[in-house]
Amino acid sequence: MIKVLIVDDSAVVRQILSKELSKIYDIEVVATACDPYVARDKIVQLRPDVITLDLEMPRMDGLTFLGKLMKYMPLPVIVISSLTPQGSENALRALELGAVEVLCKPGGSYSVGDLSRTLVDKIRAAAAVRFLRPHKPPVAKAPKTVPAPEELSTTRAVMQTTHKIIAIGASTGGTEAIREVLQQLPATTPGTLIVQHMPEHFTAQFAKRLNDMCEMEVSEARGGELVTPGVALIAPGNHHLVLRRSGARYIAEVKDGPQVHHQRPSVDVLFHSVASQAGHNAIGVILTGMGADGARGMLAMRQAGAHTIAQDEESCVVFGMPNEAVKLEAAVEVAPLTDIPKQMLHSLKISPSTAAG
């Protein structure tokens, strides 16, 4: 039985979430708390397995509480945040502090009932977390330098003739894992497509933060962009991201469609498209996350001749997605998170000495 503590200043939210979660056979709401001070006492007394945390609360804000919790008594935390720009910024900050998941706070047409259905899967994923990695503040990069025109044209020409593509997929714990990978890649890295399971409206802010920290240019995909060296595109929440080839060019497409493995965007959808469009000219990377999304797509990539890498169990927050890929023998390599950028660069024949960081 998974013991859950709900921390939210709204009595309505606490009541409805408690009612909905109590219907689930393997989840027990052991207590609720209206603010971090009450939550602190409940944590000491009841030792919950998972905490849901609102970020906007009286007496102490959720980020301050989360920072203290991760320092003195680390527990899996699922953050519930608003869809406002500030809410998205705070949610990403919470992930940096050690939260394992982020969900949209009910509002407007999005009901608490809808949230509770999604929350069940997130609670199970959080309860499966093997460890909580200590918080290491991200280091912002210096302003990106623009190469001289002749250097840029030469570099891009070399990269374009190789037609390399990188595809990365992740879920639980993936925001920080993606950051750690991208920060070690140089600006000459081939065009990169990324799927991170994340709510709609949060992915744009996620891309913006990565762009400030990485040598590559990082942005949320809009659809129709050329996939070019030095650029990483992140699938927007609630939309699939696929690769399409047009002659010698690669194009990123954003599309609707049914959920795959209960996910939209889906890693499988991206990986299958990369397998068919790029084949042996691709590298596929599957990082920490719950479930099986991406495993069969990675197998298709390997069968098409791509170099494929799965994050190892020891460095994963949740070893679900990489494990499914390993079981299918979809991964050419299984590596710790810290080694994955080096393995990617080695496969691309790019010297690690030119990498960022």
pLDDT tens profile 144-183 = 554 444 444 434 433 443 479 999 999 999 999 999 999 9
* Whole-number average pLDDT of the chain: 87
DSSP 8-state symbol, 262 = T
CA distance 231 to 157: 15
Q: Which of 81, 82, 116, 171 is catalytic?
A: 171
> Which candidate, 114, 128, 118, places its Cα nearest to that of 50?
128
Q: Which of 197, 261, 272, 307 is catalytic?
A: 197
Is 197 known to be catalytic?
A: yes
Strand-by-strand arrangement of the 231-234 sheet: 217-220, 231-234, 192-196, 165-170, 282-286, 307-311, 333-335
- For the cut 80, the answer to whether the pLDDT of residue 134 exceeds it is no
Say which residues have a Cβ less than 8 Å from residue 158's Cβ, sequence separation at least 6: none
Domains and CATH numbers, the chain: 2-127 (3.40.50.2300), 149-354 (3.40.50.180)
Output phi, psi for 311, to 5 deg.
-70, 140
Q: What is the mean pLDDT of residues 187-196?
A: 96
DSSP 8-state symbol, 173 = T
Residue 322: per-residue pLDDT: 98
CA distance 336 to 147: 32
Residue 199: per-residue pLDDT: 83
DSSP 8-state symbol, 263 = B
Is 171 known to be catalytic?
A: yes
Residue 104: per-residue pLDDT: 84
Residue 131: per-residue pLDDT: 63
Residue 321 tokens, joined: 């997605």
Ranges 23-32, 39-48, 143-152: which has the least confidence: 143-152
CA distance 208 to 44: 37
pTM value > 0.95: no
**3-state SS, residue 64:** helix
Residue 333 tokens, joined: 């390599």
Residue 357: per-residue pLDDT: 38
Whether residue 159 contacts residue 232, with contact meaning beta carbons closer than 8 Å, is answered with no
pLDDT tens profile 301-317 = 999 999 999 999 999 99
pLDDT tens profile 88-110 = 888 889 999 999 998 887 664 45
Residue 313: per-residue pLDDT: 95
Whether residue 176 contacts residue 95, with contact meaning beta carbons closer than 8 Å, is answered with yes
Residue 59: per-residue pLDDT: 87
Residue 320: per-residue pLDDT: 93
- For the cut 80, the answer to whether the pLDDT of residue 112 exceeds it is no
- Name the burial class of residue 11, with classes exposed (0-12), middle (13-18) and buried (19+) by CB atoms within 10 angstroms of its CB: exposed
Whether residue 314 contacts residue 290, with contact meaning beta carbons closer than 8 Å, is answered with no
Each as own residue / partner, the long-range contacts of residues 249-257 (CB below 8 Å, 24 or more positions apart, any chain) are 250/163, 250/165, 250/191, 250/226, 250/277, 250/278, 251/224, 251/225, 251/226, 251/227, 252/193, 252/221, 252/223, 252/224, 252/225, 252/226, 252/227, 253/223, 253/224, 254/221, 254/222, 254/223, 255/223
pLDDT tens profile 198-214 = 888 889 999 999 999 99
Q: Which of 54, 268, 293, 312 is catalytic?
A: 293
Say which residues have a Cβ less than 8 Å from residue 330's Cβ, sequence separation at least 6: 295, 296, 298, 299, 301, 302, 308, 310
